Structure 1
């Protein structure tokens, strides 16, 4: 057993011992309430007998609980005892964890070669612009896979990139937005059980303003054409007929990040593909090696298009209220039997099923409509919807309930004066001119 698993087991047993101690104290109090030799002439006889019976039932429940705790002590949960440490995972198991649910891998042979020799070093970056939304759980679930596979994972909070992308994050708001991203991403990771102590968080401006990095930006700009830069950022950087130079710099900087973060692989959405290919072409020209590129599928928004922070109706914010979630999901396109461009079904496939603790999704329904339905896998849910055995209203209701369970821990963490103040500072409300 690994030291991590042993520590986890020790902590669990310590909790069991505390629970046992509490139960013993409860038993002592229960004994003091036990009434014997009650006189038949006592006017409170019936009440006393009732109390004695209830105490005995409680005693039986306590004994059952003690037995359960003792059994768990001697035969701990499989999650503690049978979970393999990363050092015990086979090559095939690690490779499967890293690559499952990806849409594309560029550099697969290199990935396999590294995995046979050592753990993979991966970085995932996010520009700190609009508020992170529910689709962020898609990369979060993959980051969980990477960690389970023993990978060293760096999360880049790309603050400089956010400013360069048509100034989506104004310079005076940059620090507050980066801090917000840091806190909300950590809260999201914790809500799905990802150990953040095993992650490395880096701000772009911590190294992107250094002399060596800046010189490489100039070297790269002497090799890369305007056409290549614009093409690479077509699906990521905001486009215009008269683009700013800052937006043209963005793809090159993302390519350089691979070298300066000393990673083996960069992970991102398939919308990043052109930037990844730019890195493959130009890093070797600077004397740096090509990296592996791992790409997630893009999750359609509620309107059927790409989920975007700038398109309010297409996305669910990680801090949206239950009322806001209900309104957005209820208004989403979800035609009976239509499984194409269905944002609600996509949520289920890419977010809810992968993050389900037992791999299932429960659709709650009133008993008069047949009661709850449990789907063991997404394909079963999709097929039921295609055959119109599952009504859009029931699907939406199930998604709303599950999403609220997922987001509740994040909302609670941000329900503090300090975090509320941070949100207001990072995203100040702009008063509309009359």
Structure 2
């Protein structure tokens, strides 16, 4: 490759690559440098937490090389990351810190006599809270495992046995920044290497391109450890006074037994690149390169004191230029406002004592006959309810697969609570993003089509249950505020509240499964529910949701847990088991066949699917349609003749002993009766979907599309 490059391109490339510890994708970089009209573009990012310190001279010296080599350079101020750093800062503080950082970095580069016309500054929040960016975070999380995310951040995220979810997301966000900053490459410390590898491996899978990556060595701090904004003794602030600079340099660790100490590293990565090709003169010795100076020092030819004194005076003179350029009201105001000592108050839930009137006490008592989760919020919730302000019940549906009768349990519960006297306003929220995050049970390109299919199925089911005046259906993505900047910010706040282990509620290893509880909470909150309906097997989701809401200063939502509707195999009816679920669009024969295969031993109630379907669905549906509940079961005369049963207890008696003990109810007759009621309900839905436009909805919902959801 080098033989094909012009001397000018080779010179630019060598300037870009000098003093780096590692470079990935150099061939691509070289090709871009050799392309007429192409100006390669890279970015370097920093979180605006502490003040810039002299450790920044190392990346700034390299950024100076990049600018002198004719590259475009973007510096990213990661204000979102800074805000989420234990949420120690306010947005007002961070706005001022960005101003401070920008002025100091400009002054640093100008003090190195570097032209900055190709230098650009960007705040992370200008794009990281957008819907498009967040969509790509979710897409990326579905293809990255928990293990790979943890591994990628191993050098930059604090390692604990069960890391915070935000720490696992960090490498994904940094990788995606490359796409949204429209750069050709990224520059960072060698501690970023695993994040760079993740970006190179994963972004092309989303057709977001592959970039080159440049890494500078990690320079030790003055105390011998990594220079850090949070360790006062390890750093020198760029605007520190001269005496403080001298004192810290003279007190720095510089042992000949540790040749990689911070003092020698500054000579290597800052001083020599700045003065080259001129020499550095220490104790009347001239040194044109770092290795000769290092050898002289390690062999004892140079004293520690003289080495430190030269470095101290060099830094004092350089930082004096920086201070002069920063001696203005804008920088002073930004420094004062950005680093003032303020107490960042954690958002707390204000708990006020409530008193319930007679109606409200009665409604609370009705609710408490059910399994209530997060019940500490129940009284406060009920205290808001009146005939004019109904209880807002919400049931969140995730379209993981084929629509089935298992969703009827929560719908019937809504009706039963209403009939018990509670004023109700109910919403079924269709939120299929969770189905994508759960092992991609709906493809990315089919999310919208799946949501529409579920909405139309629910509308039809609710209509044929005669509940359309009580229950409305809504798609989460169509609600105002869905994936707004506030929504996304709360998403990241919540990711800072729970660990990997706490948020692992889905099977599989992809990181996206850990995000399901966050999206469930955010999407449910869009409709501002009083009570959320949930299956009893999802109690852990209710607990997680409560923790997430408390973390952002909001009251946990009361959950009412309902029994799971049984499938034809005796287990919970599930989208993932097509052969055992009851699909309203199955033919009458298919429905009959599925129920006919189910376990239903004569006289045995244990595990009896037909009896469970009768209890959970048949009698409850009949009660919606008739004032007098009657389940008519046809039998031949020789088998005891027809029977009419008015409640489930009567059915149990008829099945176990029989009103005529010589003729207890036969399983086949029981199943036929159950099939009859269910098929009668399904007939209306089948009729609704008989038209071609509705049939196309079903087809589109299960068509794998490569398109990107907007």
TM-score range, shorter chain: 0.7 to 0.9
Distance 1:152 1:89, change over 3 A: farther
CA distances 1:148-170 after superposition (whole Å, capped 9, x unpaired): 22212211112112223444654
- Equivalent residue number for residue 188 of structure 1: 108
TM-superposed CA distance for 1:294, in Å, is: 0.7
Distance 1:173 1:89, change over 3 A: farther
Matches within 5 A, 1:389-408: 389-408=301-320
1: CA distance between counterparts of 2:203 and 2:8? Answer: 32
Any conservation in 2 of the 1:254–1:275 contact (CA below 8 Å)?
yes
- Equivalent residue number for residue 40 of structure 1: none
- Equivalent residue number for residue 410 of structure 1: 322
User: Does structure 1 residue 352 correspond to structure 2 residue 264?
Assistant: no
Any conservation in 2 of the 1:158–1:204 contact (CA below 8 Å)?
yes
User: Does structure 1 residue 213 correspond to structure 2 residue 133?
Assistant: yes
Greater relative contact order (Cα 8 A, min sep 6): structure 1 or 2? 1
2: CA distance between counterparts of 1:226 and 1:169? Answer: 28
2: CA distance between counterparts of 1:321 and 1:394? Answer: 21
User: Does structure 1 residue 106 correspond to structure 2 residue 48?
Assistant: no
1:386 corresponds, among 273, 298, 304, to 298
2: CA distance between counterparts of 1:95 and 1:418? Answer: 37
Paired residues, what number?
Answer: 336
User: Does structure 1 residue 176 correspond to structure 2 residue 90?
Assistant: no
| C-alpha RMSD of the superposition | 2.1
Larger CA deviation: 146-155 vs 240-249:
240-249
Q: Quick check: which has more Rg, 1 or 2?
A: 2
Any conservation in 2 of the 1:97–1:145 contact (CA below 8 Å)?
yes
2: CA distance between counterparts of 1:174 and 1:245? Answer: 23
TM-superposed CA distance for 1:401, in Å, is: 0.5
CA distances 1:218-277 after superposition (whole Å, capped 9, x unpaired): 212222222222222222234444533222222111100111111111111101111111
CA distances 1:334-391 after superposition (whole Å, capped 9, x unpaired): 23x445232211111111111226543233x6xxxxxx44322212211110111111
Any conservation in 2 of the 1:164–1:250 contact (CA below 8 Å)?
no
User: Does structure 1 residue 157 correspond to structure 2 residue 77?
Assistant: yes
Distance 1:240 1:320, change over 3 A: farther
2: CA distance between counterparts of 1:422 and 1:203? Answer: 16
Tell me the SS of whatever aligns to 1:90.
helix
Tell me the SS of whatever aligns to 1:246.
helix
2: CA distance between counterparts of 1:236 and 1:170? Answer: 23
- Equivalent residue number for residue 231 of structure 2: 311
TM-superposed CA distance for 1:146, in Å, is: 1.4
Any conservation in 1 of the 2:99–2:331 contact (CA below 8 Å)?
no
User: Does structure 1 residue 265 correspond to structure 2 residue 185?
Assistant: yes
2: CA distance between counterparts of 1:273 and 1:418? Answer: 36
2: CA distance between counterparts of 1:230 and 1:176? Answer: 32
2:9 corresponds, among 80, 83, 91, to 91
User: Does structure 1 residue 237 correspond to structure 2 residue 166?
Assistant: no
TM-superposed CA distance for 1:420, in Å, is: 2.3
Tell me the SS of whatever aligns to 2:143.
coil
TM-score (norm 1): 0.73
2: CA distance between counterparts of 1:242 and 1:127? Answer: 24
2:67 corresponds, among 144, 147, 154, to 147
2: CA distance between counterparts of 1:168 and 1:268? Answer: 25
Any conservation in 2 of the 1:127–1:158 contact (CA below 8 Å)?
yes
Matches within 5 A, 1:312-391: 312-335=232-255, 337-338=256-257, 340-356=259-275, 358-363=277-282, 372-391=284-303
2: CA distance between counterparts of 1:238 and 1:342? Answer: 23
2:142 corresponds, among 222, 238, 241, to 222
TM-superposed CA distance for 1:139, in Å, is: 1.4
User: Does structure 1 residue 203 correspond to structure 2 residue 123?
Assistant: yes
1: CA distance between counterparts of 2:338 and 2:185? Answer: 31
2: CA distance between counterparts of 1:325 and 1:392? Answer: 17
TM-score (norm 2): 0.45
TM-superposed CA distance for 1:113, in Å, is: 2.3
2: CA distance between counterparts of 1:171 and 1:419? Answer: 18
TM-superposed CA distance for 1:279, in Å, is: 0.8
TM-superposed CA distance for 1:201, in Å, is: 1.3
Distance 1:164 1:243, change over 3 A: farther
Matches within 5 A, 1:57-136: 90-117=8-35, 118-136=38-56
1: CA distance between counterparts of 2:241 and 2:214? Answer: 33
Distance 1:89 1:150, change over 3 A: farther
TM-superposed CA distance for 1:427, in Å, is: 1.3
1: CA distance between counterparts of 2:82 and 2:65? Answer: 27
* Greater percentage in helix: 1
CA distances 1:6-41 after superposition (whole Å, capped 9, x unpaired): xxxxxxxxxxxxxxxxxxxxxxxxxxxxxxxxxxxx
TM-superposed CA distance for 1:325, in Å, is: 1.2
Distance 1:236 1:331, change over 3 A: same
User: Does structure 1 residue 423 correspond to structure 2 residue 335?
Assistant: yes
Tell me the SS of whatever aligns to 2:75.
strand
1:283 corresponds, among 203, 207, 230, to 203
2: CA distance between counterparts of 1:377 and 1:268? Answer: 24
- Equivalent residue number for residue 176 of structure 2: 256
Distance 1:108 1:186, change over 3 A: same
TM-superposed CA distance for 1:423, in Å, is: 1.1
2: CA distance between counterparts of 1:203 and 1:359? Answer: 38
